[in-house]
Amino acid sequence: MTNLEKYVKAFTDSFEISEDQVSALEYQSIVQWDSVGHMSLIAAIEDAFGIMMDTDDIIDFSSFEKGKEILKKYNVVIE
């Protein structure tokens, strides 16, 4: 699996949505991505890439696009 595929899968698994829905996602834009969903998403992403994110990054992780930027810090490049 490519990094992009893993990244998308973290969203589709955590929120039970289809792949075509993920790219425009933002925190609280769908009912699944509330504080509860955010925790499952972060856990799924940390598992997928074997990383541990810092508090500030967990809080800043506010959209599908923003997440890609944050992951660069952890040497995870999503293209």
Partner 1 sequence: MNNINFFDDIGVYSDNIAIITEDGEQISYRTLLNAADEIASFIPARKVVFLVCRNTFQSVAAYIGFLRKRVIPVLISPDINKSLLSDLLESYRPGYICCPDGWNEDGEQIYQKNGYVLIRTGYDVSVGPNPQLALLLTTSGSTGSPKLVRQSYVNIESNAASIVDYLKITADERPITTLPMHYTYGLSIINSHLLAGASIILTDATLLEKKFWQLLKSLNATSFGGVPYTYEMLRKLRFERMELPSLRYITQAGGKLPKEMCSFFASVCSEKNIKFIVMYGQTEATARMSYLPWEFAESKAGSIGIAIPGGKFSLIDENGKVIEESDTIGELVYQGKNVTLGYALNYQDLAKGDENNGVLYTGDIAQRDSDGFYYIVGRKKRFLKIFGNRVNLDEMESMLNKAGFTCVCAGSDDNMKIYVTGGQKADEVKAFVVDRTHLNPAGFTVKQIGEIPRNEAGKVLYSKLEGLYG
Residues that bind partner 1 (CB under 8 A): 14, 16, 27, 31-32, 34-40, 42-43, 54-56, 58-60
Which of residues 2 and 35 has its CB atom nearest to partner 1 in the complex? Answer: 35
Angle at CA of residue 17, ends 6 and 67, nearest 5° = 45
Q: How far is the CB of 56 from partner 1 (least distance, A)?
A: 8
Least Å distance, CB 36 to partner 1, is 4
Tokens found for residue 40? 């499952």
What's the closest the beta carbon of residue 48 comes to partner 1, in angstroms? 16
Using the Cα atoms of residue 78, residue 66, residue 74 and residue 31 in order, give the sign of their dihedral: negative
- C-beta of 17 vs 78, nearer to partner 1: 17
